[in-house]
């Protein structure tokens, strides 16, 4: 096996090889760190690398295996963590200059569980300031480039996580998703990004646990690896009221590509009313529907009206941001980006009545999606309306789709991700093809509330039918391989 060889294995494969003592955790960790250091100047997907700590953990895992101790579910497998998720004794900057030296004294619950399962933290991945936009750049570290093209954005806000997985640096990544921040970069970089049902993975950092619409999520290259992460991360915790009482689930077994989709009804929609998708996204979506039908699913088109909910999301989300960050912005204005400050300013126009009406509208949306999923098993739509945006994209700039120019990035690029943050239903982006520019395209599948394992099973069947896992970013992109 080449020096980079372990980097191209899935976590599921690594687990098997490590368990059989065919691969050393120390060799895997060394390979991952070497690849990260080599690609970092091109991709810029890390804020911090944890080389010394990771190698020490790898040596400990190797001793554990060689001494015959029981092997934990993620023993010796490398993972990364988005730099807005707390990691004990490893700096967590939130992508913001005022927090560049912040070192938490505890892990977020999801991170603690991965460590307890034997996984090895190799680094913290890039994020825009506090994960507040769909592009991954910040005054603290600059721009993160797409794994497939140096001229394109990685998406965001979990852009660094997606790029690290897509480029073969580490098979598992902890991301977050507040409006599509896992699924958007997953689609841009050709990986699997799940926003699980609310509460399935506890969110121990969120300040409004009851009104929460943000998620700590898994990001991987394969569906099986997502299930593996879910197995380690899921389960109730006292910090998150939505997690309490959820029964234990066998994600690994439940997500196997068993059987077919006979008896499953899927509602599909290409675009929400008034929005456009590119021709290559439409073509990939059509091909994906044919794949789902060939697997045995019954397909029925659903109307796209009622899903254009970005104004509702913005009223809630930006009000939360204003409450969290207004004092920080006043004290550190010169260290924060104009884009971040402009988003905070937008919330000043939202009254308490506006906020509460948005919460009422959120409930209406939840009940609508619930109604749809009473007569169907899944909803399917494109993850984003076109492939990755240019590397210099401005959040408040225009967006071009097949030559047409639109004025707002959020509602025109990812109208389909935001709704399911607000409803809490599980939604996953899975690769479904490539655009005419050679960049990945994502398909979003939405499952029943708390039906995460079954959603992953459907994704595993789709992944197997697509048979696209052999393709990696190569010389046409940023020289990976």
For residue range 393-408, list pLDDT tens digits in order: 999 999 999 999 999 9
Task: With residue 294 as reference, give the H or E element that holds it.
Answer: helix 279-294
- 317-324: long-range contacts at Cβ-Cβ below 8 A with a sequence spacing of 24 or more? 317/178, 317/179, 317/213, 318/343, 318/344, 318/346, 318/347, 318/350, 319/347, 319/350, 319/355, 320/207, 320/208, 321/130, 321/132, 321/347, 322/347, 322/348, 324/130, 324/207
4 falls in which pLDDT band (50, 70, 90)?
confident
- Apex 227 CA angle, 380 and 414, nearest 5: 35
The active-site residue out of 82, 133, 195, 264 is 82
Percent of the chain at pLDDT > 90 equals: 95
| Whether pLDDT at 478 is above 80 | no
| Cβ atoms of residues 246 and 219 within 8 Å | no
The pLDDT value recorded for residue 474 is 78
HEC per residue, 122-149 = EEEECCCHHHCCCCCEECCCEECECCCC
Which one is catalytic: 157, 272, 278, 337?
157
- Whether 264 is catalytic: no
Q: What is the pLDDT of residue 479?
A: 43
- Asked whether the predicted pLDDT for residue 1 surpasses 90, the reply is no
Res 468: pLDDT: 76
Mean pLDDT to the nearest integer, 193-205: 98
Q: What is the pLDDT of residue 469?
A: 81
pLDDT, position 2: 55
Taking all residues of the chain, what is their mean pLDDT, rounded to a whole number? 96
Query: pLDDT of 288-337, one tens digit each?
Result: 999 999 999 999 999 999 999 999 999 999 999 999 999 999 999 999 99
What is the tens place of the pLDDT at every residue in 39-50? 999 999 999 999
Q: Does 181 qualify as catalytic in the annotation?
A: yes
- Cα–Cα distance, 291 to 258 (Å, whole number): 16
pLDDT (tens digit per residue) in 231-266 = 999 999 999 999 999 999 999 999 999 999 999 999
pLDDT in tens, 117-128: 999 999 999 999
- Nearest to residue 299, comparing CAs of 259, 264, 260? 264
Classify domain 5-466 at the CATH class level: alpha beta
Domain ranges of the chain: 5-466
Q: What is the pLDDT of residue 321?
A: 95
56-75 average pLDDT score: 96
pLDDT score of 366? 98
How far CA 104 is from CA of 53, 84, 135, 139, 481, in Å, comes to 16, 11, 25, 21, 35
pLDDT value at residue 257: 96
User: Which of 181, 197, 243, 429 is flagged as catalytic?
Assistant: 181
Query: Where does the pLDDT of residue 480 fall: very low under 50, low under 70, confident under 90, or very high at 90 and above?
Result: low
128-170 pLDDT, tens digit per residue, is 999 999 999 999 999 999 999 999 999 999 999 999 999 999 9
Q: Is 349 a catalytic residue?
A: no
Mean pLDDT over 377-402 rounds to 98
pLDDT band for position 37 (50/70/90)? Answer: very high
């Amino acid at each position: 096996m080449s020096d980079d060889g372990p980097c191209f294995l899935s976590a599921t494969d690594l687990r098997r090889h490590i368990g059989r003592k065919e691969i050393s955790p120390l060799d895997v960790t060394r390979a991952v760190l070497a690849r990260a250091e080599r690609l970092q100047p091109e991709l810029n997907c890390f804020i911090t690398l944890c080389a010394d700590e990771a190698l020490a953990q790898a040596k400990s895992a190797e001793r554990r295996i060689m001494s015959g101790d029981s092997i934990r579910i993620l023993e010796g497998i490398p993972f990364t963590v988005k730099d807005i998720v707390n990691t004990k004794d490893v700096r967590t900057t939130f992508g913001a200059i005022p927090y560049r030296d912040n070192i938490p004294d505890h892990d977020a619950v999801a991170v603690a569980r991965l460590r307890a399962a034997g996984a090895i933290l190799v680094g913290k991945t890039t994020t825009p300031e506090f994960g507040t936009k769909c592009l991954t750049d910040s005054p603290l570290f600059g721009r993160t480039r797409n794994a497939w093209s140096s001229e394109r954005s990685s998406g965001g806000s979990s852009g660094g996580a997606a790029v690290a997985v897509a480029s073969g640096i580490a098979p598992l990544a902890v991301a977050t998703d507040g409006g599509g921040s896992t699924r958007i970069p997953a689609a841009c970089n050709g990986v699997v990004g799940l926003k699980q049902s609310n509460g399935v993975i506890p969110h121990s950092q969120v300040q409004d646990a009851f009104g929460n619409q943000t998620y700590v999520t898994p990001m991987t290259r394969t569906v099986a690896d997502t299930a593996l992460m879910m197995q380690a991360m899921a389960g109730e915790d006292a910090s998150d009221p939505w997690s309490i009482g959820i029964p234990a689930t066998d994600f690994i077994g439940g997500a196997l590509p068993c059987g077919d989709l006979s008896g499953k009804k899927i509602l599909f929609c290409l675009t929400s009313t008034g929005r456009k998708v590119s021709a290559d996204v439409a073509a990939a979506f059509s091909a994906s529907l044919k794949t789902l039908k060939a697997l045995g699913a019954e397909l029925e088109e659903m109307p796209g009206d009622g899903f254009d909910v970005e104004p509702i999301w913005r009223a809630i989300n930006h009000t939360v941001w204003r409450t969290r960050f207004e004092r920080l912005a006043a004290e550190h204005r010169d260290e924060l980006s104009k884009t971040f400050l402009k988003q905070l300013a937008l919330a000043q126009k939202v009254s308490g009545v506006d906020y509460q009406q948005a919460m009422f509208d959120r409930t209406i949306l939840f009940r609508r999606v619930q109604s749809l999923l009473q007569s169907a098993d899944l909803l399917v739509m494109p993850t984003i309306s076109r492939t990755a945006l240019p590397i210099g994209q401005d959040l408040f700039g225009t967006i071009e789709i097949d030559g047409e120019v639109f004025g707002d990035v959020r509602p025109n690029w990812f109208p389909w991700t935001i709704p399911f943050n607000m409803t809490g239903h599980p939604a996953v982006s899975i690769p479904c093809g490539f655009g005419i520019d050679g960049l990945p395209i994502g398909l979003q599948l939405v499952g029943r509330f708390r039906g995460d394992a079954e959603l992953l099973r459907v994704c595993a069947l789709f992944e197997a039918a697509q048979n696209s896992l052999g393709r990696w970013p190569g010389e046409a992109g940023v020289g990976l391989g």
